[in-house]
Structure 1
Amino acid sequence: MPGKIRKRSPLKLPDKPYIALGLEGSANKLGAGVIKHAPNGSTTVLSNVRHTYITPPGEGFLPRDTAQHHRQWAMSVIKDAIEKAGISMHDIDCICYTKGPGMGAPLTSVALVARTLSLLYNKPLVGVNHCVGHIEMGRQITGAQNPVVLYVSGGNTQVIAYSQQCYRIFGETLDIAVGNCLDRFARVINLPNDPSPGYNIEQEAKKGTRLLPLPYTTKGMDVSLSGILTSTEAYTMDKRFRSDGRADDGDKDIITPQDLCFSLQETVFAMLVEITERAMAHIGSKEVLIVGGVGCNERLQEMMGVMAQERGGQVFATDERFCIDNGIMIAQAGLLSYRMGFQTPITKSTCTQRQVFRTDQVHVAWRA
């Protein structure tokens, strides 16, 4: 947990229009987005461009190859974002980039691009925590006031709530993230990575009809997902498993990939709903905000909605434009920070792939 919180006044209306360019590249999505904060308090997304590094079915994305993809596409994506925004680089007030956490090589590639642009156009840099970017974009798009946040992505699984200028982590995964769990199982059953393994798991799960027994591992406010992944993979070695979903001998007691996707989703999402509900009860909130790439999953939103409705609450979520990693979320969080006087010196414009730069280590100066 962070040390002493530095109290500041909450964010006031801007005295002039502020425009920020955000660059995201913590994993296999390279994103560039431009956002504008107007004096009347409105926020406008001027552009949101993204290019994804997609590998063949059954393969993950390696840091070196992902970094190469980002270097190859960086100028094209940024140029497209600037043109769609209808501005020039000289109109930008600050350049925001993902400082971490994430994959080291891709992060470094994008940070180098951000530093280069900062020096070329004499624009201040703002390093942004990837997790806080998701939260602030979710709050901006949905209008959620003070929600419990379920942050679910390929690299993170956290239950978060705001208190005293800090996003406090109430619970998290003890091993692998939910997105990583789904992606790894997608590789086991050879699902395509286009548009994403998690999306294809979701589509297969809609065809599943049997709920197979899997470990349900919640430990207080935390969850463990490595065991459920191993158990789901073990079903593919069962003699009843049919990769094509059919039984040649007419046996109805078969196990299909669709059943496994359905069972994995249902069990994991039930665990996430449970720990989110505990956090809601603890802080007395009736709002849930789901952010991160897995937050696009319609079944997760549906299950969370049932729980929230029973508590007299509401679920907030965004579509794939904003829940999947993107540059505009980095621009939003970075511009909020910049307006509070924060900048990242060029000499300290590093990045970190580790979870040492946690969600709860960021001073959220812009909130009261």
Structure 2
Amino acid sequence: MPVASEYLPLAAPNRPTIAIGLEGSANKLGVGIIKHFPFDPSKRRRPAAEVLSNIRHTYITPPGEGFLPRDTAKHHRQFVVNLVKQALKESGLRSADIDCVCFTQGPGMGAPLQSVAVAARTASLMWGKPLVGVNHCVGHIEMGREITGATNPVVLYVSGGNTQVIAYSHQRYRIFGETLDIAVGNCLDRFARTLLIPNDPSPGYNIEQMAKKGKNYVELPYTVKGMDLSMSGILAYIDGLANEIFSGKPKYVSDDSQEEITKEDLCFSLQETIYAMLVEITERAMAHVGSQQVLIVGGVGSNERLQEMMGVMARARGGEVFATDERFCIDNGIMIAHAGLLAFETGYRTRLKDSACTQRFRTDEVFLAWRDD
């Protein structure tokens, strides 16, 4: 396993515990502070966590440009201290009130991950608090479960860097299907660059708004391979269509139509195609594990059309869909604080010598000591 750790006796199981979480695996820098309450024997569960602070600052580039790891890391280094101070002020706490410092240990972009890890190590040493490394994907799932109340769902995790269908079994999140090449969010972001769509507030959000104005569906490659899917061919195909339109060669809805295909039509068609692929493999996972719940997490999970399509499928199976808004779907510090605190309460600690980040830290590598259902 790429991430080492150790387990120590529980710190304070009979009182509320508080964690600060630092997230910076891509272009969003997030800091969150969360409070967990002790297990309530009478209700046989832990009361809902209290979000004390959840702030974020995004590195935004000009239209047509992505974000380079070096520049993104520079952004995180520039803003992380102020965000930590702001989070403490917003929560009304001091560093002495914090029980542990949690940080994203992977997966993600190397330089941004490292810059935030340095900040987390510094805070841990300055404050004399334990360090807890967190898997970014598990952070999304656990925050989604906490906010929505989903019990044991099939999870669709869709973001700029990850696309996975996941289900829980025997204290691990098992991956049932995933992208074979690029993630769905990366596909959307790269097409946004082709169209020179603004990156503020995010390329995917702006594509979603353009797709709502699309009237004509353009047939695109549909690439599902068992439980896995591929999106690089779809991106290459639709990029080709867009470039032809930009070069002055109009494309028409059909051979016998004089109606030209618009950028809005392309955005609409791209969403419909890749989201249909996601719904298909999610439904297959639901049938396999016998679940009636779907939890959508990750930045792309805030897309209303994806939620709508997934809802149609789930209701047809007598099930339901759980999703959160952009506060918890898009990368944030509170999800890292929450997942880290769950681990901390089982005695988990990350030793300083083991706190290096890894860009490839798979969801199913994490032992979920806090789950035994």
In the superposition, the TM-score normalised over structure 2's length comes to 0.92
Separation in structure 1 between the aligned mates of residue 369 and residue 247 of structure 2, nearest angstrom: 53
Separation in structure 2 between the aligned mates of residue 316 and residue 367 of structure 1, nearest angstrom: 20
Alpha-carbon contact 2:28-2:59 (below 8 Å) kept: yes
- Give the letter aligned to residue 20 of structure 1: A
Partner of 1:88 in structure 2?
A: 94
Could you tell me which of 165, 172, 179 is aligned with 2:178?
172
Partner of 1:5 in structure 2?
A: none
Separation in structure 2 between the aligned mates of residue 123 and residue 238 of structure 1, nearest angstrom: 57
How far residue 239 of structure 1 moved from its aligned partner, in angstroms, is 5.2
Separation in structure 2 between the aligned mates of residue 209 and residue 187 of structure 1, nearest angstrom: 22
Separation in structure 1 between the aligned mates of residue 20 and residue 250 of structure 2, nearest angstrom: 47
Alpha-carbon contact 2:156-2:165 (below 8 Å) kept: yes
What secondary structure is seen at the aligned counterpart in 2 of 1:300?
Answer: helix
Partner of 2:215 in structure 1?
A: 209
Partner of 2:57 in structure 1?
A: 51
How far residue 141 of structure 1 moved from its aligned partner, in angstroms, is 0.2
Alpha-carbon contact 1:244-1:256 (below 8 Å) kept: no
How far residue 253 of structure 1 moved from its aligned partner, in angstroms, is 2.3
Partner of 1:363 in structure 2?
A: 367
What secondary structure is seen at the aligned counterpart in 2 of 1:19?
Answer: strand
How far residue 252 of structure 1 moved from its aligned partner, in angstroms, is 3.7
What is the CA deviation profile of residues 70-121 of structure 1, one whole-angstrom value per residue up to 9, with x for unaligned ones? Answer: 0000011111111111100110000000000000000000000000011101
1:191 aligns with 2:197: yes
Alpha-carbon contact 1:288-1:316 (below 8 Å) kept: yes
Separation in structure 1 between the aligned mates of residue 120 and residue 171 of structure 2, nearest angstrom: 27
User: When the two structures are aligned, how many residues end up with a matched partner?
Assistant: 354
Partner of 1:272 in structure 2?
A: 278
Separation in structure 1 between the aligned mates of residue 66 and residue 347 of structure 2, nearest angstrom: 40
Separation in structure 2 between the aligned mates of residue 181 and residue 293 of structure 1, nearest angstrom: 13
Separation in structure 2 between the aligned mates of residue 74 and residue 34 of structure 1, nearest angstrom: 14
Separation in structure 2 between the aligned mates of residue 243 and residue 74 of structure 1, nearest angstrom: 47
- Give the letter aligned to residue 112 of structure 1: V
How far residue 130 of structure 1 moved from its aligned partner, in angstroms, is 0.2
How far residue 240 of structure 1 moved from its aligned partner, in angstroms, is 9.0
Tell me: CA distance 1:75–1:239, structure 2 relative to 1, closer, same or farther (3 Å). Answer: closer
Partner of 2:242 in structure 1?
A: 236
- Give the letter aligned to residue 16 of structure 1: R
Partner of 2:20 in structure 1?
A: 21
Partner of 1:135 in structure 2?
A: 141
Separation in structure 1 between the aligned mates of residue 114 and residue 276 of structure 2, nearest angstrom: 36
- Give the letter aligned to residue 32 of structure 1: V
Partner of 2:5 in structure 1?
A: none
Residue ranges of structure 2 left out of the alignment (5+ in a row): 3-9, 41-45
Could you tell me which of 321, 326, 330 is aligned with 1:324?
330
Could you tell me which of 310, 319, 324 is aligned with 1:304?
310
Could you tell me which of 116, 126, 141 is aligned with 1:110?
116
In the superposition, the TM-score normalised over structure 1's length comes to 0.93
Tell me: CA distance 1:137–1:254, structure 2 relative to 1, closer, same or farther (3 Å). Answer: same
How far residue 255 of structure 1 moved from its aligned partner, in angstroms, is 1.2
- Give the letter aligned to residue 205 of structure 2: Y
What secondary structure is seen at the aligned counterpart in 1 of 2:200?
Answer: coil
Question: What is the Cα-based RMSD across aligned positions, in Å?
Answer: 2.1
How far residue 347 of structure 1 moved from its aligned partner, in angstroms, is 1.2
Separation in structure 2 between the aligned mates of residue 162 and residue 252 of structure 1, nearest angstrom: 51
Separation in structure 1 between the aligned mates of residue 229 and residue 26 of structure 2, nearest angstrom: 23
How far residue 245 of structure 1 moved from its aligned partner, in angstroms, is 11
How far residue 222 of structure 1 moved from its aligned partner, in angstroms, is 0.2
Alpha-carbon contact 1:235-1:241 (below 8 Å) kept: no
Separation in structure 2 between the aligned mates of residue 241 and residue 276 of structure 1, nearest angstrom: 38
Separation in structure 2 between the aligned mates of residue 110 and residue 52 of structure 1, nearest angstrom: 14
Q: Which moved more, 1:40-49 or 1:100-109?
A: 40-49
What secondary structure is seen at the aligned counterpart in 2 of 1:232?
Answer: helix
Partner of 2:265 in structure 1?
A: 259
Partner of 1:334 in structure 2?
A: 340
- Give the letter aligned to residue 124 of structure 2: S
Identity %: 70
Separation in structure 2 between the aligned mates of residue 133 and residue 94 of structure 1, nearest angstrom: 16
Separation in structure 1 between the aligned mates of residue 50 and residue 105 of structure 2, nearest angstrom: 24
